[in-house]
Amino acid sequence: MSIFHRKPVLVPIDYSEASLQAVRVAKSVAVSDGDITVVYVAQDYDLTLHPLTWVGGPLPNYEEHRLLNGLRTWVEENNLGDVNLLVRKGDPGLKICEVAEEMGSKLIVVPSHGRHGVARFLLGSVAERIIRHCHCSVLVLHRTTGEPSTPQFADWLPRKRVVVPIDFSDASSVAIATALEIAENRDVIDVISVAPRVEEVAFYGVAPMPDDVRLENLRQGLAKYLTEHGYGSLCAHALIGDPGTAIVQYASDMGADLIVMPSQGLHGLRRLVLGSTTERVLRHSDIPVLVLRGVQEFVG
């Protein structure tokens, strides 16, 4: 049974070069163009408006037929094929999730613009909002320095190494299985688990133990988990540090080209206090991250 669903695929765009890459990647993932829906969400003119979008004068005409004509022209000019087209108005993160729910999307392919600092605080990250609220898997693409302006269709496919961070949950087993399905080669998959630093453990009221002891316990736990789930031959590594930072650093050190991880979907106070490892990885990773959601049918 296939775990990595390839249809239907939703691709939110903003007419950037990164949007072109996202549609082309979707075309490499989906079975046919008819399985892909490209959606443009026109934002309301409020504080979320990018300052370079409008500098005064009359506001653009946001009538739906004009938006749709603009999207159709963009798709035709860039030879993106017979994909489905859709336009919406409102908050991009929320509207994209609404569309995904309506069409029963199994995968969203979205470029990340890597916004940081004050701009990110004010505008938020559409990619992170999608991860937080959507119920399907999300492939977040990242553009790195020196990347060609017109990437090949299959540039996202892992050719070198896939990193799979796990927390020993049932969803972790699904993440490993998904990585195996995508890579089709056990030798390029690294399963890692990260234990927080001693000071972080102590903060939450857990009696600390020396790092070398914790690291050895984690190694043994990893070996046992992989053996019990039939993945004993995979390469495994135990690390200590901030999970989000350690995952990104490990992937960078290994020259990986994809990170596959489940999202725990934390909300409310717990998410505010602990933060989201997934979102931290998205924020700092220079390589694509596949976040798995909607995997309940494969666990339990």
DSSP state letter for 74:
H
The residue type at 43:
Q
Residue 239 CA to residue 236 CA, distance in Å, equals 10
Confidence category of residue 173, pLDDT binned at 50, 70, 90? very high
Confidence category of residue 264, pLDDT binned at 50, 70, 90? low
Name the β-bridge partners of 139: 109, 290
Mean predicted lDDT score pLDDT of the chain: 80
Confidence category of residue 22, pLDDT binned at 50, 70, 90? very high
- Is the per-residue pLDDT at 125 higher than 80? no
Q: Closest Cα partner for 167 from 74, 69, 244? A: 244
Q: What pLDDT does residue 49 have? A: 47
- Mean pLDDT confidence for 257-264: 84
- Is the per-residue pLDDT at 191 higher than 90? yes
Q: Number of H helices and number of E strands within the chain?
A: 11, 10
Specify the long-range contacts of residues 121-124, CB closer than 8 Å, at least 24 apart.
Answer: 122/47, 122/48, 123/48, 123/50, 124/93
Global confidence as pTM: 0.83
Residue 206 CA to residue 199 CA, distance in Å, equals 10
- Is the per-residue pLDDT at 127 higher than 70? yes
Q: Rg of the chain's alpha carbons, rounded to an integer? A: 20
The residue type at 295:
V
- Is the per-residue pLDDT at 295 higher than 50? yes
Class of domain 162-289: alpha beta
Phi, psi of 99 (to 5 degrees): -65, -45
Residue 297 CA to residue 300 CA, distance in Å, equals 8
- Is the per-residue pLDDT at 155 higher than 80? no
Q: What pLDDT does residue 48 have? A: 46
Strands (E) in the chain, as ranges, are 9-13, 36-42, 84-89, 107-112, 137-142, 162-165, 189-195, 235-240, 258-262, 289-292
Residue 40 CA to residue 84 CA, distance in Å, equals 12
CATH code of 9-142, in short, is: 3.40.50.620
- Delimiting residues of CATH 3.40.50.620 domain(s) in the chain: 9-142, 162-289
Q: How far apart are the first and last CA of the chain?
A: 16
Residue 54 CA to residue 265 CA, distance in Å, equals 35
Q: What pLDDT does residue 64 have? A: 84
Residue 170 CA to residue 300 CA, distance in Å, equals 7
Inter-CA distances, 117 with 49, 124, 225, 294, Å = 17, 10, 39, 31
Residue 119 CA to residue 111 CA, distance in Å, equals 17
Q: What pLDDT does residue 207 have? A: 57
Q: How many residues does the chain have?
A: 300
Question: Is pLDDT larger for residue 109 or for residue 1?
Answer: 109
Residue 252 CA to residue 290 CA, distance in Å, equals 16
- Is the per-residue pLDDT at 112 higher than 80? no
Confidence category of residue 143, pLDDT binned at 50, 70, 90? low
Question: Is pLDDT larger for residue 83 or for residue 153?
Answer: 83
Per cent of the chain over pLDDT 90 is 45
Confidence category of residue 144, pLDDT binned at 50, 70, 90? very low
| Residue 177 structure tokens | 């299985």
By mean pLDDT, which of 16-30, 73-87, 103-117, 168-182 is the weakest? 103-117
Question: Is pLDDT larger for residue 112 or for residue 93?
Answer: 93
C-alpha of 38 from chain center:
17
What are the tens digits of pLDDT across the range 196-242? 876 555 544 555 678 888 899 999 999 999 999 999 999 999 999 98
Q: What pLDDT does residue 178 have? A: 92
